Amino acid sequence: MAAKWIEALTGSLEQKKQYRQDKARIEALPEPYRTAATAMHRYFLYYGGIVDGDTMMTMFTDLADLWERAAVDGTPVRDIVGDDPVDFTETFAKSYRGKEWIDKERARLNKAFDEAIGKETRS
């Protein structure tokens, strides 16, 4: 009972646990994979705009999986990200698009234009 109340205020405790596990997996990577994964993780926090916790946790788990696999296989970082790390990272994040914070404002903008157009046709 108390856990549900706490989660209502702070968010999913399971998601927090998963986040810490994924972060620890990234920190345990050998170089240069740790640096690459850490940089992508940081960029996601600024770029992503994802507000759905389940989607974000899936993305972070997949990020850790990607770099762990690359480290095991000895795949060079450049072979993973190509010539444009920003494009790779943004494309990676876009594949996890769920509900975003801007969705609410997009809906408001569309509604405002619908109302404006409706008033225009009645005049």
- Residue 4, pLDDT score: 62
Are 77 and 66 spatial neighbours (Cβ–Cβ below 8 Å)? Answer: no
- Residue 25, pLDDT score: 98
Q: What is the mean pLDDT of residues 8-13?
A: 64
Instruction: State the residue for tokens 């549900």.
Output: 4
Say whether 103 sits in a helix, a strand or coil. Answer: helix
Mean per-residue pLDDT of the chain: 87
Residue 38's pLDDT band (boundaries 50, 70, 90)?
Answer: very high
Which is more confidently placed, 18 or 50?
18
Separation between Cα atoms, residue 50 and residue 15, nearest integer Å? 14
Residue 118's pLDDT band (boundaries 50, 70, 90)?
Answer: confident
CATH code given to domain 2-122: 1.10.1900.10
Tell me: pLDDT of 123 over 80: no
DSSP for residue 36 = H
Say whether 100 sits in a helix, a strand or coil. Answer: strand
Which is more confidently placed, 109 or 11?
109
